[in-house]
Structure 1
Amino acid sequence: MCKNYPSNVSKEQFENIKSILENTKKRTKPRSLDLYEVFCAVLYVLKSGCQWRMLPKNFPKWQIVYYYFQAWSKNNDKEPSVLQLVLKKIVKAFRINNGRKEQTSFCIIDSQSVKNTDTTKNKGYDAGKKISEIKRHIAVDSQGLPHAIYITTAEKTDRNSAIIMIENEKENLSAVQKILVDAGYTGEKFASKIKTIINANVEVIKRNELHSFVVLPKRWVVERSFAWLEKCRRLWKNCEKKRLLCNLCIFVLQSTSLD
């Protein structure tokens, strides 16, 4: 039995996603392992930033926890990962609890650069910053909840990556009517491409004055979402490419009440 660590979710919250996690592996006999403890162990590693081998002894063996994490993170071009399905279910439930529709009609898109470590599997070099890093692209609603995620290496442009992200999640973003972006996404080609994919209008928010700090309208929402991610130490630097989705589950699970 694991202790009540700050990274744990409640058992009531876990019941909302248990059925999705259980479908990862077919059962030929009754499961003796408690998936709640496995999931809490994953959250502990990703929240604290410790190595898998340094998991506290009151969790299941680290090899088992890592196996399930890899299984839950696995995805391909045709099917989303288990963690992506969990995240979508949580976001929809939270929106319904707040009296909103399941699908958002408004999105804010931005990217965040994160330095790589020497153990990173996929690396990219940013010639402008002269560092090896990745980029995390997200599309959030007015509450800061993620509706689309895409991870690329540093040399990829924000505009092209955003188009691919929207293309991958066009079914989930089919109700979006307006997308807010910063000056990095300026261009008629980008706006027309988004219009073709999901029939949404793109609004570019630019700074009116150079060399002065101005809070751009609604842009703070996506910046707050990135700040939420920074609460997870595993996201301070990129160790493995698949960390983002699970950490998004962490901040959504811990900041919402789905009881």
Structure 2
Amino acid sequence: MHPYPSHVTREQFELIRPDLENFRKQTRPRTVDLYDIFNAVLYVLYTGAQWRSLPHDFPKWKTVYGYFWRWSQPLPGDDSTLLDLLKKSVAYARMSAGRSARTSFVILDAQSVKNTDSAKHVGYDGAKKINGIKRSIAVDINGLPIAIHITTADISERDSGIALFSLNTQDFEMVQRVMADGGYTGDNFASMVHTIIEADVIIAKQSDLKHGVVTPQRWIVERSFSWLGKWRRLWRNCERKLTTSHVMVAVAFMGILLRRL
């Protein structure tokens, strides 16, 4: 198969191949190459194509979607295979850069995204005037995602942030400080974060720039959102379910990470 711009190499795929192969017991010989399946998922994300519009040099679209669906399903008492792989990829990338697998500092932000007609869940963000969903992410100092949470756009940044920490407490065990922008201002938010993960909240306000106070770490999370902007399927929310939107964001980050390793 001629490689598309979205492809990862065989060597890069080897980092995640064992988990994709062993996510469940195989009862009969596999007839497709999981490398082609994963690259087909990346192709859909990168180009914004419909599943049915996959080029014919990939496996059949129903086969590709079938694997994606199974990899997206939560495992007993755990994340889905793809979400778990993202966490492992982030830990591997941090250790490759000479850092510990767990971070002590995260930057939090949210992004509202318009829905397409196929989306089932919708909410209106009055501040951004967007009808769709809200993506909340917490990233480390390198912009790598530590946790992702998807809600409808009508949920406030503070509430979606609280939910992100509450649903992913195990990923913030070493975190001591959380940086966020002015949208998260409030003693209630800071006290809730401290109760959930025992971390202090630092608010980087836009007004600080007028007084010569520069917080460059604040813009790291904006760069992470810009990375997602390179994947056309993420320009709008095309997924019916919020859980699928969550997995799509995770796969996009995984594609970015694998090409760096």
Give TM class, smaller chain: over 0.9
CA-to-aligned-CA distance 1:184-207 (integer Å, 9 cap, x gap): 101111111111111111000112
Shift of 1:85: 0.8
Range with bigger deviation, 196-205 or 25-34 = 25-34
Q: Which amino acid aligns with 1:138?
A: I
Q: State the alpha-carbon separation in 2 of the partners of residues 115 and 216 from structure 1.
A: 29
Q: State the alpha-carbon separation in 2 of the partners of residues 51 and 202 from structure 1.
A: 41
- Matched residue, 1:109: 108
Q: Structure 1 vs Structure 2: percent identity of aligned residues?
A: 50
CA-to-aligned-CA distance 1:113-137 (integer Å, 9 cap, x gap): 1000111121112234443111000
Q: Which amino acid aligns with 2:193?
A: I
Task: Give the conservation status (yes or no) of the 8 Å contact 1:229–1:251.
Answer: no
When the two chains are superposed, the root-mean-square deviation of aligned CA atoms in Å is: 2.0
- Matched residue, 1:220: 219
Q: State the alpha-carbon separation in 1 of the partners of residues 130 and 76 from structure 2.
A: 29
- Matched residue, 1:133: 132
Structure 1's 172 and 210: CA in aligned 2 closer, same or farther, altered over 3 A? closer
Shift of 1:216: 4.3
- Matched residue, 2:86: 87
Over 4 Å off, 4+ runs: 209-212
Structure 1's 108 and 210: CA in aligned 2 closer, same or farther, altered over 3 A? closer
- Equivalent runs, 1:235-246 vs 2, <5 Å: 235-240=234-239, 241=242, 242=244, 243-246=248-251
Q: What is the TM-score of this pair, normalised by structure 1?
A: 0.92
Q: State the alpha-carbon separation in 2 of the partners of residues 76 and 164 from structure 1.
A: 20
Could you say what secondary structure the match of 2:207 adopts? coil
- Equivalent runs, 1:194-233 vs 2, <5 Å: 194-208=193-207, 216-233=215-232
Range with bigger deviation, 202-211 or 24-33 = 202-211
Task: Give the conservation status (yes or no) of the 8 Å contact 2:111–2:135.
Answer: yes
CA-to-aligned-CA distance 1:44-76 (integer Å, 9 cap, x gap): 111111111111111100000011111112237
Number of aligned positions between the proteins: 255
Task: Give the conservation status (yes or no) of the 8 Å contact 1:205–1:217.
Answer: no
Q: State the alpha-carbon separation in 2 of the partners of residues 76 and 155 from structure 1.
A: 29
Q: Which blocks of at least 5 consecutive residues in structure 1 are unaligned?
A: none
2:254 to 245, 249, 256: 249
Structure 1's 164 and 33: CA in aligned 2 closer, same or farther, altered over 3 A? same
Q: What is the TM-score of this pair, normalised by structure 2?
A: 0.92
Task: Give the conservation status (yes or no) of the 8 Å contact 1:73–1:82.
Answer: yes
Q: Which amino acid aligns with 1:7?
A: S
Range with bigger deviation, 199-208 or 146-155 = 199-208
Task: Give the conservation status (yes or no) of the 8 Å contact 1:147–1:172.
Answer: yes
- Matched residue, 1:63: 62
Shift of 1:249: 1.4
Q: Which blocks of at least 5 consecutive residues in structure 2 are unaligned?
A: none
Could you say what secondary structure the match of 2:169 adopts? coil
CA-to-aligned-CA distance 1:206-249 (integer Å, 9 cap, x gap): 1226999x964311100000000000000000000422222121
